[in-house]
C-alpha cells in the first residue's frame, strides 16, 4: 500500500514538473519575440474577434428574420428527409460521430497542439489555439443571446436535445475551428499537392460527420449547423490571419 502511494506521488510530481517545464519553454519562446510583434499579434487577434462577433450577429439576425419567413419550414423538411429518407447511419452511430465536436475529444487535442507548438518554438500558435478555443464560447453564447431558438423535437421526441438554445450549433462552431486550425497547420507544413488534397478531404469528412450526426440525433436544425460553420470559420480565419501577420513581423525584424 505504501509502495502504491509512493508511485502515485511520483507520477503526480512528474506531471507537475512536466507542466512547469512546458510553461517555462512557452514563456521563453514568447518573451524572445520582439515586443512590437507581440503587441500587433494581440491587436490583430482582438480585431479578428470583433469581426467574428459582428459576423455572428449578422448571421444570427438574418437567421432569426428568415425563421419568420420560411426558414423554419425548410429546416423541418430537410431534417425530416435526413432522418427518414437519408439516415446514413443509426442513432447510436451518430452519438459516436458527434464526439468529434465534444470537449472530451477537442480538449486533449487542444493540449497536445499547445504542447507541440511550445516545444517547436511557435508561441503564437500555442496562444492562438488555446485562446481561440476559449473565445469560441462567447461567440456561441452571443448567437444564443440574440436568438433563443428552440431545439427540434422530431427525433425520439427530442430525447438527445439539451435544454438550451439551438442557433448556432456549438458542435459545428467548435469543429470547424479546431479541425480547420489543425488543417491549416498541416497545410503550411507541406508543399505536396496530394497531401493537401488529403487535408481538405479529411477536413470535409470530419465536418460532415459532426454536422450530419447532430442532425441525425435531432439536436439541431440544418440552418443551425450552417450558421455554426460560418461563425466558427470566420473566427479560425481571423486567428490564422493574426498568426501570419505577426510571424511576418518577426521575420522582418530579424532581417
CA-to-CA dists, residue 159 to 74, 84, 154, 155, angstroms = 22, 17, 10, 7
- Integer Cα distance of 160 and 153 in angstroms: 9
Check whether 92 has a pLDDT greater than 90: no
Residue 124 has pLDDT above 50, yes or no: yes
- At 207, list the grid cell: 465536418
Radius of gyration of the chain (CA): 21
Q: Can you give the length of the chain in residues? A: 255
Report the pLDDT averaged over residues 160-187: 91
Within a 10 A sphere around the Cβ of 120, how many other Cβ atoms?
A: 12
Domain that holds residue 53: 38-254
What's the mean pLDDT in 58-71?
Answer: 95
- Whether residue 118 is contained in a domain is answered as yes
Number of alpha carbons in the 13 Å side-chain half-sphere of residue 33? 24
pLDDT band (50, 70, 90) for residue 85: confident
pLDDT band with cut points at 50, 70 and 90 for residue 103: confident
Please determine, for residue 49, whether its predicted confidence score (pLDDT) is greater than 90: yes
* Residue 32 placed within a domain: no
Closest of 200, 141, 192 to residue 168, by C-alpha: 141
Q: How many of the other CB atoms lie within 10 Å of CB of 4?
A: 8
| Residue 31 is assigned to a structural domain of this protein | no
Domain membership of residue 11 (yes or no) is no
Q: How many domains does the chain have?
A: 1
How large is the average pLDDT for residues 181-199? 95
Q: Which residue has the higher pLDDT, 38 or 10?
A: 38
Is the CB of residue 230 less than 8 Å from the CB of residue 59? Answer: yes
Query: 3 lies in a domain?
Result: no
The answer to whether 130 and 243 have CB atoms below 8 angstroms apart is: no
* Contact present, 53 and 131 (Cβ < 8 Å): no
What's the rounded mean pLDDT across residues 116-124?
91
Report CA-CA distances (Å) from 27 to 21, 37, 73.
10, 15, 53
As a whole number, the mean pLDDT across the chain is 88
Residue 8 forms part of a structural domain: no
Average pLDDT over residues 66-87: 90
Q: Is residue 21 part of a domain?
A: no
pTM here?
A: 0.89
Position 32 confidence tier, pLDDT thresholds 50, 70, 90: confident
pLDDT value of position 91:
83
CA 188 to chain centre: 19
Q: Is 48 among the domain residues?
A: yes
Q: Lowest-confidence range among 22-26, 44-48, 110-114, 194-198?
A: 22-26
**Cell numbers at residue 204, please?**
470535409
| 146 pLDDT above the threshold of 70 | yes
For residue 237, say if its preceding peptide bond is cis, omega within 30 degrees of 0. no
As a whole number of angstroms, the distance between CA 230 and CA 197 comes to 22
- Give which of 60, 68, 41 is closest to 231, Cα–Cα: 60
Distance in angstroms (rounded) separating the CA atoms of residues 17 and 125: 23
pLDDT band at 254 (very low <50, low <70, confident <90, very high): low
- φ/ψ (deg, to 5) at 111: -65, -40
Say what the pLDDT of residue 1 is.
Answer: 45
Amino acid at each position: 500500500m505504501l509502495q502504491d502511494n509512493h508511485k502515485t506521488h511520483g507520477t503526480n510530481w512528474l506531471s507537475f514538473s512536466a507542466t512547469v517545464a512546458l510553461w517555462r519553454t512557452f514563456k521563453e519562446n514568447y518573451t524572445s519575440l520582439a515586443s512590437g510583434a507581440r503587441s500587433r499579434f494581440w491587436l490583430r487577434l482582438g480585431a479578428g474577434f470583433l469581426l467574428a462577433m459582428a459576423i455572428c450577429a449578422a448571421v444570427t439576425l438574418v437567421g432569426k428574420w428568415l425563421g419568420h419567413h420560411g426558414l423554419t419550414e425548410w429546416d423541418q423538411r430537410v431534417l425530416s428527409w435526413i432522418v427518414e429518407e437519408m439516415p446514413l447511419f443509426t442513432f447510436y452511430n451518430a452519438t459516436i460521430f458527434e464526439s468529434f465536436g465534444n470537449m472530451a475529444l477537442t480538449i486533449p487535442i487542444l493540449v497536445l497542439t499547445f504542447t507541440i507548438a511550445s516545444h517547436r518554438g511557435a508561441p503564437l500558435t500555442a496562444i492562438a489555439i488555446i485562446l481561440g478555443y476559449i473565445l469560441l464560447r462567447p461567440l456561441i453564447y452571443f448567437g444564443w443571446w440574440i436568438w433563443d431558438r428552440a431545439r427540434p423535437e422530431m427525433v425520439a421526441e427530442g430525447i438527445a436535445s439539451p435544454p438550451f438554445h439551438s442557433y448556432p450549433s456549438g458542435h459545428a462552431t467548435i469543429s470547424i475551428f479546431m479541425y480547420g486550425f489543425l488543417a491549416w497547420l498541416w497545410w503550411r507544413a507541406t508543399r505536396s499537392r496530394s497531401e493537401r488534397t488529403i487535408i481538405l478531404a479529411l477536413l470535409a469528412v470530419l465536418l460532415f460527420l459532426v454536422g450530419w450526426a447532430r442532425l441525425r440525433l435531432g439536436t439541431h436544425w440544418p440552418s443551425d449547423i450552417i450558421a455554426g460553420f460560418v461563425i466558427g470559420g470566420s473566427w479560425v480565419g481571423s486567428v490564422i490571419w493574426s498568426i501570419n501577420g505577426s510571424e511576418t513581423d518577426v521575420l522582418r525584424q530579424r532581417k
